[in-house]
Chains A and B, each alone.
Chain A
Amino acid sequence: MPDTLTLLLTHQKAPQIRRMLNHWREFVPVEDILIAYGGPPPEFRHLDHDQRILIDSPRLKTRDHQRQKQSYQDLFHAAREWLRGKDYRFVHFVEYDQVPVQKDFVSLHLAFIQTEACDVAGFHVVRVDGTSNPHFLNHAFDPRFANFWREITVRENGSVVLSMLGTGSFWRRDAFDAVAGLRDTPPVYLELFIPTAAHHLGFRVRGMVRQQRFIQNAGELQSRMGELQAAGAWSVHPVKTLWDE
């Protein structure tokens, strides 16, 4: 029985995605990879991979991601629909430039989820409500932001806001389905929306603190992949150029 679906978001061209899948097949069965394609629709037809969905969403295709409040809701929802009726128990969401380097990285994630008894495991998970966090402060200006969490929360404190890097996260299926099922949400940047929604729906969100030095929000780590793997990295981000010729 398949256990973990890898939900791989990319906007690269077909030849690059072929190389990407060749790398990934050394880590997970390729049939357990669902490509979520955010590139141009004509290119989508050229992808040589059966498990794929086209995400033609203006909320995904932002230029200034933070200020335009980029959202993965349409992507998560499309993946949820694709998953309907399938037996996957976990979902590993990952952007194309977060690259696995440890052979057993899926089982390492699963062990983390079990040990922490959590539902969502991510990187750079922090609580930001009431702080100087620029994303929080900008969202706090919009009353719909606080109202939304108060409306959906199953917790006592509806004011908690979490932030998590959007590049990759590991989910129990029920948590993923619940967050992906939220529709017509107010504009909230994905790094706030995803962990905060999971939290207020009652799920436990934990940060993989020991791994987060390998997951950075800027730069290019392709030349350091071997070194970081030796240092204990499960995966590395950002590696944007590995798929180029």
Chain B
Amino acid sequence: MVAAFDRLPIALLTRIIRIILLRCAHTFGVRLKDQRTGESLGRVLIIPFRGKLWIIGLTASVRPEFLPQRRTTYWKQDLGFSTHPDPDFPSINRTGVSQGSAGRGPND
């Protein structure tokens, strides 16, 4: 068995491990929810590593953010994830509007 692994190129072995890890993440991982839309972001594995968190299996482009709390709690805070709204910025060239005017888009 060990000899068989020895013969595998490193790149192939890395690929196999990555596929298994992703399969585990998408099957057993924690289910994340988009805090802005409420939609599912799929399942991911979250692993603490050297003072950071590894997020494995995340496919959406999301921003991490600590969530507002109804009560003041010193022992726990919620970290959530959310997508940006669809880009909807005005055309400055066409309308002649400048930032801060009525033409300002919801993303600005």
Contacts and interface: CB of A to CB of B under 8 A. Distances in A.
B73 interface: no
Given A117-B94, A132-B55, A160-B107, A206 B61 contact: no
Interface in A96-121: 117-119
Nearest to A174: B93
Taking residues whose C-beta sits less than 8 angstroms from the other chain, chain B's interface range is 20 to 34
Nearest to A136: B61
Q: Which of A156, A157, A202 has the most CB of B within 10 A?
A: A202
Interface of A is mostly: loop
Contacts of A130: 63
Contacts of B55: 132
A206 B88 contact: yes
A123 to B, nearest CB: 12
Contacts of A155: 89, 92, 99, 108
A126 B91 contact: no
A119 B61 contact: no
A128 B61 contact: yes
A204 B86 contact: no
Nearest to B88: A206
A131 B99 contact: no
A58 to B, nearest CB: 25
Nearest to B90: A204
A175 to B, nearest CB: 8
Given A154-B92, A160-B107, A127 B60 contact: no
Interface residues of A, number: 32
Given A131-B62, A160-B107, A163-B61, A126 B86 contact: yes
B58 interface: yes
Interface in A182-205: 195, 199, 201-205
Given A199-B87, A199-B89, A127 B94 contact: no
Contact of A157 (B61, B84, B91, B108): B108
B93 to A, nearest CB: 4
A126 B108 contact: no
Interface in B52-106: 55, 58, 60-64, 81, 83-95, 99-100
A156 B93 contact: no
Given A136-B61, A160-B107, A163-B61, A131 B92 contact: no
A38 interface: no
Contacts of B62: 131-132
A91 interface: no
Contacts of A118: 91
A162 interface: yes
Interface string A201-223: 11111110100000000000000
Please give me the 6 A-B residue pairs with the lowest Cβ-Cβ distance, nearest first. A204-B91, A202-B92, A156-B99, A127-B84, A133-B61, A131-B61
Given A125-B86, A131-B63, A203-B92, 11 more contacts: A119-B93, A126-B87, A127-B86, A127-B107, A128-B84, A132-B60, A157-B99, A160-B87, A203-B91, A204-B94, A207-B87
Interface of B: 55, 58, 60-64, 81, 83-95, 99-100, 107-108
